[in-house]
Structure 1
Amino acid sequence: MTLTPERVTDLPMVDEDLEHHRFRVHRATMTSPDVFREEVRRIFHRCWLYVGHESEVANPGDYVRRPLAGRPVFMVRGVKSNRVHVFHNTCTHRGAAVCRQKAGNSKVFQCFYHAWTFDSEGNLKGVPDREAYGDRLDFAALALKPVARVQSYRGFVFASFDEQVEDLVSYLAGAREYLDLVVDSADGDMEIIKGTNEYCIDANWKLLAENSVDGYHAVSTHDTYFKYLVALGTDLKGGVRGTAKDLGNGHAVLEYAAPWGRPIAKWEPLFGEHARDEIAKLRADLVARHGEERASRMADTNRNMLIYPNLVVNDIMAVTVRTFMPSAPNRMDVTAWEMAPRGELPQLRQRRLDSFLTFLGPAGFATPDDLEALESCQQGFDSGGVEWNDISRGMTRVPEGNDEAQMRVFWRRWAEQMGDAGRHREDLR
């Protein structure tokens, strides 16, 4: 049976059949405008979404402007309260954007249209010809509108447009442990380095959610990078296999032994002989603070973590924070930041940035490969003839890193939020 547009949101699009070891997802989830509209309403307007990191607004008056699920918002640290606010980027008078620069520092935000002025706490402070409004208009009610819910965990700031959303700590569930590993590796003092990677992908956003925790594609898709590492002297004989974990609420992580160097505390030939002693000292400091077992997790293992629906934290050869916002059924906007310990040695910072650009940058070894793969999938969907994607790998065993259990975690949560529990349907076989 063909899934027609008028029926697309009425039918179960995730089909899990344990008896036949089958998990599949209908390709209309990747192409249908109806599905896209429902995703925005049911998922992006109800979930916690990553806005930014507190280090980006470290000083009173610091701000950054961000798109959040198609809505313009900005994050600012209040001058008086020192609190981090997230406001809808719209003047309460006639609607124009009040924050017009990507980032900066300001005590006030003035709408260029009619010059209404707001302070960093959102209060309306200036209205030209104010006496024209009389003395009964409640100007306090015309303050900037904050996003419904804003909470922070270990410096990661999230916002939700749903006032009834569960608290952030509960929502993050098992993902908290992995955020803690990132932050504690720098003794609790991480910062986002200024500058971003920004690019678009002509593919459905869920393809990048899958790809970000997909160990199955690494060797075949990123063959050039692995050959490059081997040429530098890196030992890849053990491969890059690991384990996949369900972290709850649609979050998942792919964790595996680090086959390459990590500036935090694992030396590789890539760094040069002069760095051996320096990195050995970093590792000794980690052990002294956290013990051998936890220090080893920080230094010797890589983690690709998806925080549902659209935040990825790659704690690998560099700590990368990446979001992807859908703009159409077949297009997404991607932004990536590099995170690092505040005040680390310049040579360590340089290695980190080199890895951020060399592997994960838009022109690096990995990202162009992934873009080509995802856009190729999207083109394949347009071909028709095949209705379902198969995501069954590893259903009969304890999940390994190159299985697809982590994708199934994502899709079960997606189906739940879309009002589809993935029931088996005979007429869709």
Structure 2
Amino acid sequence: MKELIRDNTEKCEFLVHRSVFTDREILARERAEIFNKCWLFIGHESEIPEKGDYKRKKVGGRNLLLVHSHDGEMRALYNTCPHRGALVCRENSGNSRVFRCFYHAWSFTNDGQLAGMPGKDGFPDDFNCDGTKNMTEVNRLESYRGFMFVNFDDHANSLDEYLGNAKEYIDLVADQSEAGMEALGGVQEYSVRANWKLLAENSVDLYHGMPTHKTYFDIKQGQDPDLKKVKLEGKGVDLGNGHAVMEYVAPWGRPIAQWTPIWNEDLKKDMEKIKARLVERFGEERADRIANYNRNIVIFPNLVINDIMAITARTFYPTSPGYIEVSGYAFAPKGEDEEHRMARNDNFLEFLGPGGFATPDDNEALELCQEAYNNNQEVQWNDISKGMVRGEDNTLATDEIQMRSFWRQYKTRIEQSLNKEVAQT
């Protein structure tokens, strides 16, 4: 059996074989053992607040409809007609009690029930008495703090069990608002010519921050005369199940309650009130974490929540070993003051947006990695060992424990399936 990951704690060495970024057979195994069996983010409850609201989604290689049905239930339906397979809904979003297939005009209520079709006299009287001609529902749709996930494995553990220790950090995001969080505007969609696991790594990699995004940090120093040196200090944490987080302090403003000189004094006063209310609700220590600490969270396999100068969630799926499609969401507290919302959106677009300082830099770095993997016959291993010498309980945010957490879960899932095949033969 091919060795994909070497995890040598005695030698303080962690290596990943570069074939995992280029091999089509490995991608097929990832789809079967990871994307078909793990909880995958589909959207946020705030996207479909009213009965009849729906959003088209692509999750784990499937075309889905996330629907707030007329009975009040939220559902994920496979967006395919049971007649001949066409997409039933072609609009990206809207509100409707009925979906009508363009091809042969079969229609379905927004809970997926077959409502009618032309030429009904050509079918038996008991047609669809067993419900097999209804739109098929994804059996596993669960939510945590408004974040909704699907699982295509009916035997998987609950979402609550799956998220485990990651819930603490999702709570730090959700608790920023007493009214709840909401997704802003439309979903940002773009593609990257790189393997999907490179984006998972990059999203919790503070080590690359200063060299890759130097221009952004130089600008931050110019905006704040009291900022002598940019520091990115904090810790990396293995959250189990492949999830991980880096939590750290940084120089940028956070719209929740960390003011910066680029904003006016009135906004500073409002942020002080927000911070005081956080202290009332949670105490000094937790209020400080919520307001002043940044978090980059990876939820295995393909959800990243960045709670930094703004809040964004990204999910991504591979169409080939060297190509991924990315969907990005921006989040904010419901009912946020207009001036705060403007500051938040400016922060988001400046760094996290597709045309910001960070995202194009990151995408270029990932594509450069992918391009160089054509050398993987001669240069076979990536090194992800930084911080192992400190012990896994003492690592810094700029170490690589976050990536090792991801890769250890990956190793478990992929190598278990390989071992089963070997045993069967």
- Bucket of the pairwise TM-score, normalised by the shorter protein: over 0.9
Q: Which runs of 5+ in 2 are unaligned?
A: 420-425
- Secondary structure of 1:66's aligned partner: strand
- Partner Cα separation in structure 1 for residue 281 and residue 126 of structure 2: 60
- Secondary structure of 1:25's aligned partner: strand
- Secondary structure of 2:7's aligned partner: strand
Q: Which residue of 38, 45, 50 maps to 1:47?
A: 38
User: Which residue of structure 2 lines up, in the alignment, with residue 417 of structure 1?
Assistant: 413
Mean Cα displacement is larger for which, 359-368 or 268-277? 268-277
User: Which residue of structure 2 lines up, in the alignment, with residue 341 of structure 1?
Assistant: 333
- Secondary structure of 2:3's aligned partner: coil
Shift of 1:327: 1.0
How does 1:224-373 map onto structure 2 within 5 Å? Answer: 224-233=215-224, 235=227, 237=229, 239-373=231-365
Shift of 1:254: 0.4
- Secondary structure of 1:334's aligned partner: strand
- Partner Cα separation in structure 2 for residue 346 and residue 331 of structure 1: 38
Q: Which residue of 15, 20, 24 maps to 2:6?
A: 15
Question: Structure 1 residues 421, 125: CA separation in 2 closer, same or farther (over 3 Å shift)?
Answer: closer
User: Which residue of structure 1 lines up, in the alignment, with residue 423 of structure 2?
Assistant: none
User: Which residue of structure 1 lines up, in the alignment, with residue 381 of structure 2?
Assistant: 388
- Partner Cα separation in structure 2 for residue 52 and residue 303 of structure 1: 20
- Partner Cα separation in structure 1 for residue 351 and residue 151 of structure 2: 32
Check the 8 A contact 1:201/1:332 in 2, yes or no: yes
Which amino acid is the alignment partner of residue 374 of structure 1?
L
Check the 8 A contact 2:188/2:329 in 1, yes or no: yes
Q: TM-score, normalised by structure 1?
A: 0.94
Shift of 1:421: 10
- Secondary structure of 2:156's aligned partner: coil
Structure 1 residue 136 corresponds to structure 2 residue 129:
no
How does 1:78-97 map onto structure 2 within 5 Å? Answer: 78-79=69-70, 81-97=71-87
- Secondary structure of 1:325's aligned partner: strand
Question: Structure 1 residues 383, 12: CA separation in 2 closer, same or farther (over 3 Å shift)?
Answer: closer
Shift of 1:130: 1.5
- Partner Cα separation in structure 1 for residue 94 and residue 157 of structure 2: 32
User: Which residue of structure 2 lines up, in the alignment, with residue 151 of structure 1?
Assistant: 142
User: Which residue of structure 2 lines up, in the alignment, with residue 191 of structure 1?
Assistant: 182
- Secondary structure of 1:173's aligned partner: helix
Shift of 1:207: 0.4
Q: CA RMSD in A?
A: 1.5
Shift of 1:394: 0.7
Off by >4 Å, runs of 4+ in structure 1: 420-423
Q: TM-score, normalised by structure 2?
A: 0.95
- Partner Cα separation in structure 1 for residue 57 and residue 188 of structure 2: 14
User: Which residue of structure 2 lines up, in the alignment, with residue 30 of structure 1?
Assistant: 21
Shift of 1:238: 5.9
Structure 1 residue 402 corresponds to structure 2 residue 393:
no
Which amino acid is the alignment partner of residue 416 of structure 1?
T
- Secondary structure of 1:199's aligned partner: strand
Question: Structure 1 residues 420, 392: CA separation in 2 closer, same or farther (over 3 Å shift)?
Answer: farther
Shift of 1:190: 0.6
User: Which residue of structure 2 lines up, in the alignment, with residue 4 of structure 1?
Assistant: none
Q: Which residue of 108, 132, 154 maps to 1:118?
A: 108
Q: Which runs of 5+ in 1 are unaligned?
A: 1-9, 424-429
- Partner Cα separation in structure 1 for residue 229 and residue 417 of structure 2: 41
User: Which residue of structure 2 lines up, in the alignment, with residue 5 of structure 1?
Assistant: none
